[in-house]
C-alpha cells in the first residue's frame, strides 16, 4: 500500500470536546506522536473539528488542545454532527489523496470516532483505530454510569465488528500503526 493510500484523521481534539475525558494528556501526546510519524513518512493528516452553538468556530472551546497544530497545507474539516462525512468535504479531501485506509485518533470514542469509523467502512475505506489515542467522558444511562475508560475499552474490543467483505478494520497502538 502506498503512503498516499493511508490518511490519518485527527478527530475533535479540541479544548471543549476533551473536557472531562479519560486520559486527555496521554491521548493528546500519543496522537501528536502518531501525527509526527505520519508526517515523517509522508502520510497525509486531516484535522476534523466539531462546532455547534455551544462551541462556535473560533471560540476558546473550539481550539485544538495545546501542543496540537496542523502543519502548513494539512486539511481542516469543520463538522456539525458525529459523522465527519456528513455535510463536509471529507470525502473529496480523501479522494484527493487517493485514500483507501483511514487511521483514526481523537475524541468522543462513543460518538464521533465510532460514527466516522462506521461511515468510513460503508464508504469503502479500511479502518485502523489507534487504540491508545482516542478518548471520551463518562456516560450515564438508565441509572448506570459507564466510565470513559470502559467506553474506550469497549470500542477497542468491538471495532473489528465493523468489518465488511473486502474491508479491513484493525486496531493498533499509536506506535504500532503501520503506514
| Residue ranges of domains in the chain | 3-172
Q: How far out from the chain centre does Cα 24 lie?
A: 14
What is the reported pLDDT for 4?
A: 56
Residues tagged active-site: 112
Q: CA–CA separation, 122 vs 18, rounded Å?
A: 27
For the whole model, what pTM was predicted? 0.96
- The dihedral region occupied by 65, where left means phi > 0, alpha psi between -120 and 50, and beta the remainder, is beta
Map residue 155 onto helix, strand or coil.
helix
Region 3-172: CATH code: 3.40.50.850
What are the residue ranges of helices labelled H in 41-138? 90-97, 114-122
What is the reported pLDDT for 2?
A: 43
Phi, psi of 132 (to 5 degrees): -110, 15
Q: CA–CA separation, 44 vs 172, rounded Å?
A: 18
* pLDDT values of the chain reduced to their tens digit, one per residue, 179 residues: 444 599 999 999 999 999 999 999 999 999 999 999 999 999 999 999 999 999 999 999 999 999 999 999 999 999 999 999 999 999 999 999 999 999 999 999 999 999 999 999 999 999 999 999 999 999 999 999 999 999 999 999 999 999 899 999 999 999 999 99
Amino acid at each position: 500500500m502506498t503512503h498516499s493510500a493511508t490518511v490519518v484523521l485527527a478527530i475533535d481534539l479540541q479544548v471543549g470536546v476533551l473536557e472531562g475525558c479519560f486520559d486527555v494528556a496521554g491521548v493528546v501526546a500519543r496522537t501528536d506522536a502518531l501525527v509526527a510519524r505520519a508526517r515523517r513518512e509522508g502520510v497525509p493528516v486531516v484535522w476534523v473539528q466539531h462546532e455547534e452553538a455551544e462551541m462556535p468556530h473560533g471560540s476558546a472551546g473550539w481550539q485544538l488542545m495545546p501542543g496540537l497544530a496542523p502543519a502548513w497545507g494539512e486539511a481542516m474539516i469543520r463538522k456539525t454532527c458525529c459523522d465527519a462525512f456528513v455535510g463536509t468535504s471529507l470525502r473529496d479531501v480523501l479522494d484527493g489523496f487517493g485514500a483507501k485506509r483511514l487511521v483514526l485518533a481523537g475524541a468522543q470514542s462513543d460518538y464521533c470516532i465510532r460514527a466516522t469509523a462506521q461511515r468510513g467502512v460503508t464508504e469503502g475505506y479500511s479502518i485502523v483505530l489507534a487504540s491508545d489515542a482516542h478518548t471520551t467522558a463518562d456516560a450515564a444511562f438508565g441509572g448506570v454510569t459507564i466510565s470513559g475508560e470502559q467506553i474506550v475499552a469497549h470500542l477497542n474490543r468491538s471495532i473489528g465488528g465493523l468489518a465488511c467483505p473486502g474491508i479491513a478494520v484493525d486496531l493498533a497502538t499509536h506506535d504500532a500503526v503501520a503506514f
